Amino acid sequence: MNLKTVLAVVAGVGFAIPVAAQEREFRLGLITPPVHVWNQEVEALNETLQEESDGRFSIAAFPSGQLGNEATMLQQLQTGALDMAWLTTAEVTTRVPDMAALHAPFLVDNIADAARVLRSEPAREILDGLPRATGTVGVCYAMTGMRQLMTREPVESADDLDGMRFRITPAPAIRTFFEMFGAAPAPMPLTQVYDALANGQIDAIDMDFESIINFRYYEHAPNMMVTNHHMFGMVALVSARVWADLSEEDRTMIGDAIQTHCDRTIDRFVEEEDGKLERLREEDDIEITDDVGPEFFGDIVERWDAEWAEQTPYVARLRELVAEF
């Protein structure tokens, strides 16, 4: 007798037998390539989840934007067509303006403080707005490090940035920063950046060490300014529809497993950031300008804060938090 027949018979005689909990493979999308730390931690998450659930749960990862760009993945999560995704905080700002505060320019000046912000109470509160605004549950944050500027041509002063076509991650708060110093922001997904640089469609990029190493952007933009001008966060998301279908116990188990790998991701970035810069120094093709601070950009921090404080109280809250570090 197959399972269907058994269930039909059981239903027919009016009593229930305990049925072993169903096995389930969650589909998880990312824009980053398999070499990226996020993808490595998602692989590790798959192992953790299989162990913790005695094989009931597993994860199939779809890297490199295979399921579409981040905006598309966010829509898929909302409809339940996708179970999970590790998306940039930048993408989520398009639906949750409070999250833009995490992209405040020069909010922190080092990666250890970026980690403290991402683990802070105000940052966690921002996640509370996700179910309503995006149809997702934001389980935890991680990051891909601090962002730097890479240009085709050398830059001597802020005036040189005027009119430069800068690739940015599509997000209004990031656009504001680049517009404020006179650049022409070109929003595009990570997967298109290398070709856009190679074919001259853009002059410069806003990027983190991890991605600069993985994609070798310096082959076409050999001038790197170490600005650390904003932190680049990630949010581990689960479709709210999928979450609602899980038992309380399973939610706790899955949430804890995801949290473990968010934490490991953050720890790895904090530990490895300096080493990545040193690796880049060893490349013959890169000209590195160190320690480019907020003063390089004039009064941009004040102007950015004034504009974004109108959109979200978290700009002031996070600045206050960091002032106490």
Burial 235-269 (b: 16+ CB within 10 A, else e): bbbbbbbbbeebeeebbebbbebbebbbbbbbebb
- 50 vs 72, which CB is nearer to ligand BEZ? 72
Report which residue's Cβ sits closest to ligand BEZ.
169
Backbone angles phi, psi at 82, to 5 degrees: -125, 140
- 48 vs 211, which CB is nearer to ligand BEZ? 211
Name the H helices within the chain: 3-13, 37-52, 70-79, 89-93, 111-118, 121-127, 130-134, 172-180, 193-198, 209-215, 240-244, 248-281, 300-309, 314-323
Report CA-CA distances (Å) from 278 to 40, 87, 180, 281.
22, 27, 31, 5
Tokens found for residue 322: 């960091």
- 70 vs 83, which CB is nearer to ligand BEZ? 70
- 103 vs 116, which CB is nearer to ligand BEZ? 103
165 within 8 A of 197, measured Cβ to Cβ? no
Q: Which residues bind ligand BEZ (CB under 6 A)?
A: 31-32, 88, 144, 169, 190, 207-208, 211
**Could you tell me the smallest distance in angstroms from the CB atom of residue 26 to ligand BEZ?**
20
**Could you tell me the smallest distance in angstroms from the CB atom of residue 151 to ligand BEZ?**
16
User: What is the CB-side half-sphere exposure of residue 153 using CA atoms within 13 A?
Assistant: 15
**Could you tell me the smallest distance in angstroms from the CB atom of residue 87 to ligand BEZ?**
8
**Could you tell me the smallest distance in angstroms from the CB atom of residue 31 to ligand BEZ?**
5
- 266 vs 321, which CB is nearer to ligand BEZ? 266
- 31 vs 137, which CB is nearer to ligand BEZ? 31
